[in-house]
Amino acid sequence: MKGTNYDTVDELRMVYGVTPEGYYGEDANMNGIVDPNENDGDTTPPVDNRDGKMDFGLTEFFTVYTSDPNLDTNGNARASVNNITNLYAALTNKLSMVLPIVVSNTIRGMTFTSLAQFYGP
């Protein structure tokens, strides 16, 4: 056990229970595109589901090289997830803009299969 911050994302591979499949996902060579061997099921490594889409592993969600400032792009303080009152207010403010769209489309029976479809024209 290291007992301190990670220096690289690759150190996650040493965490007990992390498998190559879980770490790399279907992107065995980490080039970000679906290669033939990454879309052929169990024929050649890595194991994939043959859906033509790249399923990334943990590497897509973690970084040790950046930080997120406590201010948004307008210079306003970000809501702390540790302060439920401020977090609730921030979420209410942001969601109030999309809530009428969601309610209107729900009443019309429309469902969304992706965020892109929700935001799209």
Could you read off the pLDDT tens digit of each residue along the chain, which spans 121 residues? 577 777 887 888 888 888 888 888 888 888 888 889 888 888 888 888 888 888 888 777 777 776 677 777 788 877 776 777 877 777 777 767 666 666 666 666 666 676 666 555 5
Residues linked to residue 56 through DSSP beta bridges, in sequence order: 25
Burial of 25 (C-beta count, 10 Å sphere; 0-12/13-18/19+): buried
The answer to whether 37 touches 31, Cβ cutoff 8 Å, is: no
Question: Is the N-terminal amide bond of 36 cis, ω within 30° of 0?
Answer: no
What's the pTM? 0.42
